[in-house]
Amino acid sequence: MKPHVSVITLGVEDLDRAARFYRDGLGWPAHQEYPGWIALRLGGGAAVLGLMPVASLAADAGVPADGGSGFRGATFSYVVRSDDRVAEVLAEAEKAGAIIIKPAEQTPWGGCGGTFADPDGHMWKVASGTGDQPYAE
């Protein structure tokens, strides 16, 4: 198996709200839209972020949708080239409807980082790169 991710799908409580946040609020371009499914292009288009109602996603996986709250054991990272841009991206996300979990601050490994949660509680780390990173911008 090649090391490649084609689609990352987030289970969401309200598909319209999630679409407004990612597509309209953050400005991520739509790739596909079907009833119960929205896909947004990531980066250069090699992968997409899928949005699907959590109950439908659980049913597709053959597991119960338990509706757990709290930390889900995963974060997504958006790496930028400057410390100043970290605070700007966090502000853009908050304006789009995100909740700032951790404001921008210096990190022990160098650079700057902060965390926001999307309207469904999925965690996004915004950080400035400290070396050979796959920068988002």
Would you say the CATH fold of 75-128 matches that of 7-61?
A: yes
| Residue 27 CB neighbour total at 10 angstroms | 10
DSSP H or E stretch at residue 22 = none
Whole-structure pTM value: 0.82
From 3.30.450.70, 3.10.180.10, 3.40.50.2000, 3.40.50.10140, which CATH number describes the 75-128 domain? 3.10.180.10
pLDDT digits (tens, 9 = 90+) for 54-110: 889 888 778 777 766 667 767 888 988 899 999 999 999 999 999 999 999 998 778
- Considering only the C-alpha atoms of the chain, give the largest distance between any 2 of them, rounded to a whole number of Å: 44
Which residues, 6 or more positions from 10, have their beta carbon under 8 angstroms from its beta carbon?
A: 18, 49, 50, 51, 52, 118, 120, 122
Tens of pLDDT along 16-61? Answer: 999 999 999 999 999 889 999 999 988 776 788 999 998 898 887 7
The total of other beta-carbon atoms located within 10 Å of residue 102's CB is 14
Superfamily of chain region 7-61? 2,3-Dihydroxybiphenyl 1,2-Dioxygenase, domain 1 (3.10.180.10)
User: What are the domain boundaries of the chain?
Assistant: 7-61, 75-128
